[in-house]
């Protein structure tokens, strides 16, 4: 086979592969998005119509304004827990990241090694006893319990993101702030953190995305709509045939929109962090 | 006392600033001034909360779980055992309300547990199919994305989209599509590939099949991105030279691309094995461990003993066994990753 023929053959092969890849990865999303805009009857119609016509917003209306199947309550719980976790993780992660990047103190190496080592511990080993402890403290089925568990799980990675960022900053700015009379903590808050927005956003995005998608810990520590997060609400609905698929589809879109958009924006930062987190399983 | 600290803190800080004391130094908070002159305390002041949160809330439960694993604990029936009481019980003390001490009994029980053997089998089957399939599929995606074609950026985004989907949403999506009145049946009926709706998740073979497909949908993009990053570090001259020497596409892949990807492939295999052995949420939502416990994998089995069957002691011992195996792979991963960083 000549080189040009082999190139053409590769081109055709690539084109076929691209189409198959697009169909495989896109189909579930195409189906769930279009279904969320259909009515019950349209969804059941045979044969399946490729796109919704006309577009109905009934499912979103039912979720957002009538709170069907408590999906809206779940979303509220998810957002509150994720927001609190994000604030805690970013704040504590920034302080600790700064300390590990710039200050020499006793047991510095050992303590950061222990913090990072918590990544490699399988979650199962921590979650079930933590569930027992929270049960004993009457923190089961509370948002506080979820926030404690999530913050503990996600703060090592936000610390690591901030640590890497602070190491890359030149020390000049900080030095000049201190000559002007700032304390180290003052310089951190007034000078260093304001110019660290990209790293803070990446760390925050990581904590937020992880909180919105967490499943197992939420499953064992929540029992009522007081604290059930959106993934738990949806998971308990999905097996039941009484739940309308169109409503479920809209709920799924609502649950994935925040994490998916954030991942698309911050993908560069997150690939490293999530590959480390993957060890946790 | 506090005045003394304030004065000495400022004096020291002032010493370090050449050319006199700036006026704002006088206004500085006494605590901050004190901390500035004691970096050891400042360090712990800043890092302490994170250390307590990250390490305290991990190691205390692990220690607690370790104690529980030596006892016959049924928490929902008999109440939560106390940490201190279990420590005392370990040394033979008789404490009221303490569950029965079993020593290593829970750990040894695994060798006679028939149901556990089935769970291990299910985990091994799932992992041993998933890991190679994920790699092969991801390799194809990465090879395609490594080609120059119009719209490459869009295809890349689409692939990332499914990676960005939270695992629980992935499970819910497939569960919805696989309902007997779902779209999978709808499309297959429309194409006349099946005559009547199939209840996919009630058949052992098909349940496994769809678990693997759903895993592939969510997991392969990440592997593909890692492989693609590896492919882009291969020097282009090597391909050009090989082409001049008459090597076809297959020979170039086999002799140039693949050897360069040894490291990312090893990492992905380790990560895949860890993910496979600890997978839970997809199975919990998609199959519920069924049909007939055929997809009741190890993590699910541990979960059931703790939560569903109120058998906390045995569940703790099981999770230590499982974590031991997983940790071996975790250590392998970190050693490999850090060795790579040093190079």
Which CATH number is B275's domain given?
Answer: 1.10.3720.10
- Look at residues B265, B163, B262 and name the one whose alpha carbon lies nearest to residue B217: B163
For chain B, how many structural domains are there in total? 2
User: Residue B55 has what pLDDT?
Assistant: 92
How many whole angstroms from its chain centre is CA B169? Answer: 17
Cα A90 to Cα A94, A173, B83, B220, distances in angstroms: 6, 22, 32, 30
Closest partner residue to B173 (CB to CB) among A88, A156, A252 is A252
- Please identify which residue in the block is written with the tokens 């053959």: A9
CB contact under 8 A, A118 and B190: no
Asked whether the CA dihedral B135, B139, B140, B145 is positive or negative, the reply is positive
Q: Which of A38-42, A174-178, B205-209 is the most confident on average?
A: B205-209
| Residue B248, phi then psi, degrees to nearest 5 | -75, 175
**Is B173 in the same domain as B317?**
yes
Tell which of B105, B123, B155 closes a domain: B105
Predicted TM-score (pTM) of this structure: 0.85
B3 within a domain of the structure (yes/no): no
**Is B297 in the same domain as B150?**
yes
Show residues of chain A in contact with B168, CB under 8 Å.
Answer: 213, 215, 231, 234-235
Is A123 or B143 the better-scoring residue by pLDDT?
Answer: B143
Show residues of chain B in contact with A151, CB under 8 Å.
Answer: 53
In whole angstroms, what is the distance from residue B120 CA to residue B129 CA?
Answer: 14
B322 within a domain of the structure (yes/no): yes
Q: Which residue of B has its CA nearest to A176?
A: B17
Is A166 or B331 the better-scoring residue by pLDDT?
Answer: A166
For residues A227 and A74, the answer to whether their CB atoms sit within 8 Å is: no
How many whole angstroms from its chain centre is CA B322? Answer: 13
- Minimal Cα–Cα distance from B47 to chain A, Å? 4
Closest partner residue to A264 (CB to CB) among B160, B225, B299 is B160
- Minimal Cα–Cα distance from B297 to chain A, Å? 13
**Is B141 in the same domain as B200?**
yes
Calculate what percentage of chain A has a pLDDT beyond 90: 43
**Is B150 in the same domain as B210?**
yes
Residue of B47, B82, B181 for testing the chain A interface, max A β-carbons within 10 Å? B47
CB contact under 8 A, B39 and A104: yes
Q: Which residue of B has its CA nearest to A133?
A: B61
- Look at residues B119, B179, B135, B130 and name the one whose alpha carbon lies nearest to residue B305: B119
pLDDT at B253 over 80: yes
CB contact under 8 A, B62 and A126: yes
pLDDT at A276 over 50: no
Mean pLDDT calculated for residue range B312-338: 86
Closest partner residue to B32 (CB to CB) among A22, A185, A239 is A185
CB contact under 8 A, A124 and B278: yes
Show residues of chain B in contact with A160, CB under 8 Å.
Answer: none
- DSSP-assigned letter for residue A241: T
pLDDT at B136 over 50: yes
Show residues of chain A in contact with B141, CB under 8 Å.
Answer: 21
- DSSP calls for A29-61: HHHHHHHHTS-HHHHH-SSPPSS-SS---HHHH
B149 within a domain of the structure (yes/no): yes
**Is B100 in the same domain as B111?**
no
B1 within a domain of the structure (yes/no): no
User: Residue B19 has what pLDDT?
Assistant: 47
**Is B150 in the same domain as B261?**
yes
User: Residue B9 has what pLDDT?
Assistant: 43
pLDDT tens readout for residues A90-122? 999 999 999 999 999 999 999 999 998 887 788
How many whole angstroms from its chain centre is CA A17? Answer: 30
pLDDT at B22 over 60: no
**Is B49 in the same domain as B114?**
no
Closest partner residue to A220 (CB to CB) among B23, B169, B307 is B307
**Token pair recorded at residue A180:** 């002007």
Confidence category of residue A25, pLDDT binned at 50, 70, 90: very high
Tell which of B47, B81, B105 closes a domain: B105
Tell which of B48, B81, B105 closes a domain: B105
**Token pair recorded at residue B281:** 């949420």
Show residues of chain B in contact with A234, CB under 8 Å.
Answer: 168-169, 172
- Please identify which residue in the block is written with the tokens 């979303």: A75
| Residue B291, phi then psi, degrees to nearest 5 | -75, 145
CB contact under 8 A, A124 and B299: yes
User: Residue B24 has what pLDDT?
Assistant: 52
**Is B99 in the same domain as B240?**
no
In whole angstroms, what is the distance from residue B135 CA to residue B133 CA?
Answer: 5
B18 within a domain of the structure (yes/no): no
**Is B216 in the same domain as B235?**
yes
Mean pLDDT calculated for residue range A77-90: 96
B299 within a domain of the structure (yes/no): yes
User: Residue A3 has what pLDDT?
Assistant: 63
CB contact under 8 A, B306 and A216: no
| B198 contacts: CB under 8 Å, gap ≥ 6 | B180, B185, B188, B206
pLDDT at A33 over 60: yes
pLDDT at B287 over 60: yes
User: Residue B35 has what pLDDT?
Assistant: 80
User: Residue B16 has what pLDDT?
Assistant: 46
For residues B188 and B181, the answer to whether their CB atoms sit within 8 Å is: no
Mean pLDDT calculated for residue range B287-311: 89
User: Residue A241 has what pLDDT?
Assistant: 67
Is A124 or B303 the better-scoring residue by pLDDT?
Answer: B303
Residue of B17, B24, B46, B150 for testing the chain A interface, max A β-carbons within 10 Å? B46
In whole angstroms, what is the distance from residue B151 CA to residue B86 CA?
Answer: 63
B59 within a domain of the structure (yes/no): yes
User: Residue B173 has what pLDDT?
Assistant: 93
pLDDT at B8 over 60: no
Show residues of chain B in contact with A268, CB under 8 Å.
Answer: none
Show residues of chain B in contact with A69, CB under 8 Å.
Answer: none
Closest partner residue to A96 (CB to CB) among B50, B64, B147 is B50
Q: Which residue of B has its CA nearest to A92?
A: B50
Mean pLDDT calculated for residue range B166-194: 89
Confidence category of residue B128, pLDDT binned at 50, 70, 90: very high
Show residues of chain B in contact with A219, CB under 8 Å.
Answer: 284
In whole angstroms, what is the distance from residue A220 CA to residue B303 CA?
Answer: 9
pLDDT at B233 over 90: no
**Is B116 in the same domain as B69?**
no
CA angle A128, A134, A135 (to 5 degrees): 90
CB contact under 8 A, B323 and A278: no
B17 within a domain of the structure (yes/no): no
Cα A187 to Cα A94, A98, A152, distances in angstroms: 13, 11, 27
Mean pLDDT calculated for residue range B71-79: 84
In whole angstroms, what is the distance from residue B115 CA to residue A196 CA?
Answer: 53
| Residue B71, phi then psi, degrees to nearest 5 | -120, 165
Show residues of chain B in contact with A180, CB under 8 Å.
Answer: 22, 24
Judged by average pLDDT, the poorest of A44-58, B95-109, B152-166 is: A44-58
Q: Which residue of B has its CA nearest to A137?
A: B80
Q: Which residue of A has its CA nearest to B50?
A: A92
User: Residue A8 has what pLDDT?
Assistant: 82
Closest partner residue to A125 (CB to CB) among B65, B217, B243 is B65
pLDDT at A83 over 60: yes
User: Residue B341 has what pLDDT?
Assistant: 59
Show residues of chain A in contact with B223, CB under 8 Å.
Answer: none
**Is B51 in the same domain as B131?**
no
CA quadruple B131, A119, A258, B230: dihedral, nearest 10: -50
Calculate what percentage of chain B has a pLDDT beyond 70: 90
Structural domain of residue B254, as residue ranges?
107-342
How many whole angstroms from its chain centre is CA A242? Answer: 29
Asked whether the CA dihedral A32, A37, A39, A43 is positive or negative, the reply is negative
User: Residue B77 has what pLDDT?
Assistant: 81
Q: Which residue of A has its CA nearest to B311?
A: A128
**Is B185 in the same domain as B48?**
no
């Amino acid at each position: 086979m000549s080189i040009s023929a082999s190139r053409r053959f590769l081109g055709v092969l690539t084109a076929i592969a691209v189409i198959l890849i697009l169909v495989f990865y896109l189909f579930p999303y195409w189906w769930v998005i279009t279904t969320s805009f259909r009515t019950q009857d349209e969804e059941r119609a045979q044969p399946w119509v490729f796109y919704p016509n006309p577009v109905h917003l009934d499912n979103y209306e039912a979720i957002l304004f009538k709170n069907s199947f408590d999906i809206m309550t779940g979303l509220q719980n998810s957002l509150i827990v994720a927001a609190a976790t994000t604030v805690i993780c970013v704040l504590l992660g920034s302080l600790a990241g700064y300390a590990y990047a710039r200050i020499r103190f006793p047991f510095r190496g050992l303590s950061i090694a222990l913090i990072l080592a918590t990544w490699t511990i399988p979650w199962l080993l921590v979650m079930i006893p933590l569930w027992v402890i929270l049960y004993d403290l009457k923190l089961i089925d509370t948002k506080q319990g979820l926030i404690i568990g999530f913050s503990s799980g996600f703060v090592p990675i936000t610390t690591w993101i901030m640590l890497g960022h602070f190491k890359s900053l030149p020390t000049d700015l900080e030095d000049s702030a201190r000559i002007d009379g700032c304390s180290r903590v003052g310089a951190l808050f007034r000078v260093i953190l304001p110019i660290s927005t990209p790293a803070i956003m990446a760390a925050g995005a990581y904590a937020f995305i992880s909180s919105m998608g967490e499943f197992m810990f939420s499953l064992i520590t929540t029992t009522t709509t007081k604290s059930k997060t959106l993934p738990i609400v949806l998971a308990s609905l999905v097996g039941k045939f009484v739940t309308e698929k169109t409503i479920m589809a809209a709920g799924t879109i609502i649950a994935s929109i925040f994490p998916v958009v954030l991942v698309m924006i911050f993908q560069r930062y997150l690939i490293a962090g999530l590959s480390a987190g993957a060890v946790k399983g | 006392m506090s005045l003394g600290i304030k004065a000495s803190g400022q004096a020291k800080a002032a010493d370090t600033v050449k050319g006199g004391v700036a006026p704002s130094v006088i206004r500085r908070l006494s605590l901050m001034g004190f901390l500035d002159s004691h970096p050891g305390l400042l360090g712990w002041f800043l890092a302490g909360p994170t250390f307590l949160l990250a390490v305290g809330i991990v190691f205390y439960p692990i220690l607690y779980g370790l104690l529980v694993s030596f006892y016959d604990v049924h928490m929902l029936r008999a109440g939560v055992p106390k940490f201190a009481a279990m420590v005392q019980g370990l040394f033979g003390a008789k404490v009221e309300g303490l569950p029965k001490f079993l020593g290593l009994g829970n750990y040894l029980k695994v060798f006679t547990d028939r149901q556990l053997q089935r769970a291990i089998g299910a985990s091994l089957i799932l992992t041993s199919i998933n890991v190679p399939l994920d790699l092969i599929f991801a390799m194809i995606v990465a090879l395609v994305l490594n080609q120059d074609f119009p719209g490459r950026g869009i295809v890349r985004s689409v692939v990332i989209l499914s990676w960005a989907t939270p695992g629980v949403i992935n499970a819910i999506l497939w569960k919805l599509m696989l309902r007997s009145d779902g779209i999978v049946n709808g499309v297959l009926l429309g194409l006349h590939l099946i005559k009547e709706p199939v209840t996919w998740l009630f058949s052992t073979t098909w349940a496994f099949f769809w678990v693997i497909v759903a895993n592939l949908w969510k997991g392969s993009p990440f592997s593909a991105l890692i492989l693609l990053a590896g492919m882009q570090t291969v020097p282009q001259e090597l391909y050009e030279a090989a082409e001049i020497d008459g090597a076809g596409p297959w020979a170039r892949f086999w002799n140039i691309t693949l050897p360069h990807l040894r490291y990312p492939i090893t990492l992905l295999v380790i990560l895949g094995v860890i993910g496979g052995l600890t997978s839970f949420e997809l199975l919990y939502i998609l199959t519920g461990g069924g049909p007939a416990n055929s997809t009741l994998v190890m993590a699910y089995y541990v979960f059931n003993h703790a939560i569903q069957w109120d058998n906390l002691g045995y569940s703790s011992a099981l999770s230590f066994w499982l974590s031991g195996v997983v940790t071996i792979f975790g250590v392998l991963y970190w050693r490999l990753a850090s060795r790579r960083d040093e190079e």
